Amino acid sequence: MSSLEAKIDRQKLPRHIAIIMDGNGRWAQEKGQDRLYGHFHGVESVRDIVEGCAEMGIEYLTLYAFSTENWDRPSKEVNGLMELLVDTIRNEVETLNRNNIKLYVIGDMNMLPDYARQELNEALEMTSHNSGLNLVIALSYSSRWELVNAVKSIANDVKQGKIDPAAINQDTLQQYLCTSELPDPELMIRTSGEYRISNFLLYQLAYAELYFTNVRWPDFRKENLYEAILDYQQRERRFGKTSTQVIDAPL
């Protein structure tokens, strides 16, 4: 066990970590390479971080792999990324099963090419019986898309008399999100020095602790994850209360 890992308080682990995996393109360009080379190397980081989370007993890991807005990138990059994502998921299914990892995908699957949707559905099915780490891939995902969809579905159910508008509360909305089965992330990490959310889990991150690092995603490894968790464990999570209240009655 590394010295950083040993410092982590196992009783205070976040249940759910969400990561904006950013900086693949810059990492590659700094090496004089094509942006796709960066995405390719980003997969190594995904493997390492998934393994790290599984080893620690983190319950949920959500990785932002492709946003709705990323469809607007040059078609060469979009096609390359799609192929890489689908190939990776297909090749990793065996390892996921060996490690008892259950795969989820959140996002607008209708935007995906048919072959990609098919491969993904197979992978979801093949890992559906696993009960260890829940690995959520946000793919063709954006939070505004998700919220608009949720509002449409709620409106439909109101129209059909399934729900009473007066009874709509925060739990109702939560049930209509793609993440209805998942607890909210306690820790959100973004790599590569950008300080923004980029349309990721806007509702779910309401009280998440945010951690930003300059490390580019292809260089991000378990040790960097341990640093983020240690930083998270130093924070006082107040949820609107005063510090004294939180110390007197820990959550």
Interacting residues toward ligand IPE by CB under 6 A:
20-26, 64-67, 70, 81, 192, 194, 196, 198, 217
CB of 38 to Mg ion, least distance (A): 10
Give the CB-nearest residue to Mg ion. Answer: 22
- The binding site for Mg ion (CB under 5 A) comprises 22
Count of Cβ atoms closer than 10 Å to residue 137 Cβ = 23
CB of 25 to ligand IPE, least distance (A): 3
CB of 155 to ligand IPE, least distance (A): 28
Q: Which does 103 bind (CB under 5 to 8 A by kind): ligand IPE, Mg ion, none?
A: none
CB of 196 to ligand IPE, least distance (A): 6
Q: Which does 21 bind (CB under 5 to 8 A by kind): Mg ion, ligand IPE, none?
A: ligand IPE
Nearer to Mg ion, 54 or 78 (CB): 78
- Which sign does the torsion angle of CA 176, 178, 181, 183 carry? negative
134 catalytic per annotation: no
Contact 19, 62 (CB under 8 A): yes
Nearer to Mg ion, 22 or 209 (CB): 22
CB of 104 to ligand IPE, least distance (A): 16
70 catalytic per annotation: yes
Token pair for residue 240? Answer: 């609107």
Nearer to ligand IPE, 53 or 63 (CB): 63
14-23 burial, b at 16+ Cβ within 10 Å, e below that, comes to bebbbbbbbb
- The residue from 9, 24, 48, 70 that is catalytic is 70
Q: Which does 24 bind (CB under 5 to 8 A by kind): ligand IPE, Mg ion, none?
A: ligand IPE
- Cα of 42 vs its chain's centroid, Å: 15
Contact 54, 85 (CB under 8 A): no
Contact 103, 127 (CB under 8 A): yes
Give the CB-nearest residue to ligand IPE. Answer: 25
- Which sign does the torsion angle of CA 167, 168, 169, 173 carry? positive
Strand, coil or helix: 230: helix
Torsion of CA 159, 162, 166, 172, to 10 degrees: -110
Nearer to ligand IPE, 94 or 194 (CB): 194
Token pair for residue 49? Answer: 């971080």
The 8 Å CB, 24+ separation contacts for 29-35 are: 35/77
Nearer to ligand IPE, 40 or 217 (CB): 217
Q: Which does 20 bind (CB under 5 to 8 A by kind): Mg ion, ligand IPE, none?
A: ligand IPE
**Active-site residue list:** 22, 70
